[in-house]
């Protein structure tokens, strides 16, 4: 994983308003740090089609190998933000705070967290994305609700925040268009795995959305993008520094993602589990992570002592009316039945004992193969596909009793999903040692 520091090649001198892109590629290849006007020129030229995809791909690969200095990354992120609009949330009566997750399996936290923090007194502009590969997307999950729509203009976002206190929606096309082009290019050129590029992609959008504070949920483990704790720490520190320097109060929690969160993976299945959690009946791991993030968000905007305890609010079901109002405000019907799968298949436990491992990535891949995820951004997803599991790590299972239930719109998906789950669980005669879910707090 490439770090955030440039190599020993020095910096290239600041020049006029225009640059030769090949010179910039060579400079970064040799470890130089670009000055601010060169960074701004490169981002602006690529966004407007004056730099070709293959040239930017070469530059991005040089960044993967050479990294960026802190100052260079600040300029790169600022140039991305400057490529489009910024959402103005000033004038709201509540303090604004958002949360971003780096992506996991069964991670329906945003669906619960947004109305929960709103019920505790803050305004939450949760601008979210779609899933790709084995990790699910918040917008895909919400779109399983009949009538619900993700696309809201700035005026509507402000109105829902003022009225309800929380909104989950897509970032508009005018918000950081440079990232939209860069993200698509990185995805097909093997240049995703760079901490400066990951951090600037996430933070440019979060800074542009206008929130005053941000809590980052950096997932670590087999089901996360960051499998190394050291890499996760570096990413968290980089993003916190970018947010803080941009005037957004920012903190990060590193949370475990070796096992999936909750008991479901998929779109509609995760919505159903989120609703149950908002009504006070959620699984312990999902509740623990959600409450930890809620407390961090409320503390960050100065409401910690004055706000009600998020754990009590969640357990009492007091956040559920906010969920209903939020769904209704975006055209959804909170009372409508979620789409049901055409086919289900139960997978029995192979042995009796304690579940000591449930591999998050394997579960995510199985959900993806059942139709809940996409290989390309333009691929459709099924609102009903996915799976549930009947035991969490540390719980007892009995041989022959249901362990998984697979949901799909097409029976032909079952063999490949079952192949993904082959070897995903370990059952032992003794229970595993308790492992923490929140691994670190980065400020």
Residue 171 pLDDT: 87
Same domain? 114 vs 42: no
Between the alpha carbon of residue 407 and those of residues 13, 116, 199, 303, 358, the distances in Å are 58, 29, 35, 41, 18
Whether residue 23 lies in the annotated active site: no
pLDDT at 133 over 90: no
- Please report whether residue 32 resides in a domain: yes
Q: What is the pLDDT of residues 392-403, one digit of tens each?
A: 999 999 999 999
Same domain? 137 vs 41: no
- Please report whether residue 75 resides in a domain: yes
Domain count, the chain: 3
Please pick, among 201, 212, 382, 408, the residue that the annotation labels catalytic.
201
Whether residue 100 lies in the annotated active site: yes
Nearest Cα to Cα of residue 395 among 264, 281, 259: 259
pLDDT at 5 over 60: no
Same domain? 175 vs 227: yes
Judging by beta carbons within 10 Å of its beta carbon (0-12, 13-18, 19+), is residue 422 exposed, middle or buried?
exposed
Same domain? 206 vs 107: yes
Residue 201 pLDDT: 94
Same domain? 252 vs 400: no
Whether residue 108 lies in the annotated active site: no
Assign residue 44 the CATH number of its domain. Answer: 1.20.970.10
Q: Look at the block and give the residue holding tokens 């290019």.
A: 185
Same domain? 135 vs 278: yes
Please pick, among 107, 140, 179, 285, the residue that the annotation labels catalytic.
179
- Please report whether residue 372 resides in a domain: yes
Same domain? 168 vs 104: yes
- Please report whether residue 435 resides in a domain: no
What is the rounded distance in angstroms from the CA atom of residue 267 to the CA atom of residue 338? Answer: 10
Q: What percent of the chain has pLDDT over 90?
A: 87
- Please report whether residue 10 resides in a domain: no
Q: How confident is the model at residue 14 (pLDDT cuts 50, 70, 90)?
A: very low
Judging by beta carbons within 10 Å of its beta carbon (0-12, 13-18, 19+), is residue 3 exposed, middle or buried?
middle
Residue bearing the bigger pLDDT, 414 or 306: 414
Residue 209 pLDDT: 94
Same domain? 204 vs 310: yes
329, 353, 380 - which closes a domain: 329
Average pLDDT over residues 283-308: 96
Residue 187 pLDDT: 80
Same domain? 60 vs 190: no
pLDDT at 410 over 60: yes
pTM of structure: 0.93
Between the alpha carbon of residue 313 and those of residues 23, 273, 277, 306, the distances in Å are 57, 17, 11, 14
Whether residue 11 lies in the annotated active site: no
* Alpha-carbon dihedral sign for residues 49, 377, 28, 43: positive
Q: What is the pLDDT of residues 187-211, one digit of tens each?
A: 889 898 899 999 999 999 999 999 9
pLDDT at 292 over 60: yes
329, 355, 378 - which closes a domain: 329
Tell me the HSE value of 385 on the side-chain side, using a 13 A CA sphere: 25
Note the Cα 179 to chain centre separation in Å: 15
Please pick, among 28, 75, 94, 100, the residue that the annotation labels catalytic.
100
Say which residues have a Cβ less than 8 Å from residue 428's Cβ, sequence separation at least 6. 353, 354, 356
What is the rounded distance in angstroms from the CA atom of residue 353 to the CA atom of residue 415? Answer: 26
Q: How confident is the model at residue 422 (pLDDT cuts 50, 70, 90)?
A: very high
Please pick, among 158, 186, 249, 361, the residue that the annotation labels catalytic.
186
Q: What is the pLDDT of residues 38-81, one digit of tens each?
A: 999 999 999 999 999 999 999 999 999 999 999 999 999 999 99
- Structural domain harbouring 314: 97-329
What is the rounded distance in angstroms from the CA atom of residue 276 to the CA atom of residue 347? Answer: 24
Whether residue 186 lies in the annotated active site: yes
Same domain? 296 vs 269: yes
Please pick, among 28, 75, 158, 205, the residue that the annotation labels catalytic.
205
What is the rounded distance in angstroms from the CA atom of residue 381 to the CA atom of residue 289? Answer: 26
Assign residue 280 the CATH number of its domain. Answer: 3.40.1030.10
- Please report whether residue 389 resides in a domain: yes
pLDDT at 303 over 60: yes
């Amino acid at each position: 994983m490439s770090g955030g520091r440039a190599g020993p090649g020095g910096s290239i001198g600041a020049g006029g308003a225009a640059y030769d892109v090949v010179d910039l590629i060579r400079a970064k290849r040799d470890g130089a740090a670009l000055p601010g006007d060169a960074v701004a020129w490169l981002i602006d030229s690529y966004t407007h089609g004056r730099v070709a995809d293959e040239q930017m791909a070469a530059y991005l690969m040089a960044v993967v190998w050479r990294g960026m200095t802190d100052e260079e990354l600040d300029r790169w992120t600022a140039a991305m933000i400057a490529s489009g609009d910024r959402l103005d949330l000033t004038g709201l009566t509540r303090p604004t705070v958002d949360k971003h997750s780096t992506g996991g399996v069964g991670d329906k936290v945003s669906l619960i967290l947004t109305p929960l923090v709103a019920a505790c007194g803050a305004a939450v502009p949760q601008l979210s994305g779609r899933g790709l590969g084995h990790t699910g997307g918040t917008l895909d999950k919400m779109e399983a609700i009949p009538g619900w729509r993700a696309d809201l203009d700035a005026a509507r976002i402000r109105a829902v925040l003022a009225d309800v206190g929380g909104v989950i929606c897509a970032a508009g096309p005018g918000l950081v268009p440079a990232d939209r082009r860069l993200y698509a290019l990185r995805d097909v050129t093997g240049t995703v795995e760079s901490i400066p590029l990951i951090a600037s992609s996430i933070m440019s959008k979060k800074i542009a959305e206008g929130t005053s504070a941000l809590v980052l949920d950096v997932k670590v483990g087999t089901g996360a993008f960051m499998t190394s704790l050291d890499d996760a720490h570096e990413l968290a520190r980089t993003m916190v520094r970018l947010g803080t320097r941009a005037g957004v109060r920012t903190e990060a929690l590193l949370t475990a993602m070796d096992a999936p969160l909750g008991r479901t993976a998929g779109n509609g299945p995760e919505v159903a589990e989120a609703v149950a959690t908002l009504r006070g009946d959620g699984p312990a791991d999902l509740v623990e992570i959600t409450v930890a993030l809620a407390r961090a968000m409320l503390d960050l905007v100065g409401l910690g002592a004055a706000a009600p305890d998020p754990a009590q609010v969640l357990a009492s079901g007091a956040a559920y009316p906010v969920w209903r109002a939020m769904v209704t405000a975006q055209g959804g019907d909170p009372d409508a039945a979620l789409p049901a799968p055409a086919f289900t298949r139960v997978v029995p436990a192979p042995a009796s004992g304690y579940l000591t491992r449930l591999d998050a990535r394997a579960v995510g891949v199985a959900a993806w193969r059942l139709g809940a995820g996409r290989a390309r951004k333009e691929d459709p997803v099924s609102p009903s596909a996915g799976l549930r599991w009947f035991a969490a790590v540390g719980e007892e299972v009995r041989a022959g009793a249901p362990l998984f239930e697979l949901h799909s719109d097409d029976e032909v998906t079952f063999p490949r999903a079952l192949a993904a789950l082959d070897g995903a669980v370990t059952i032992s005669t003794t229970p595993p040692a308790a492992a923490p879910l929140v691994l670190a707090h980065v400020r």
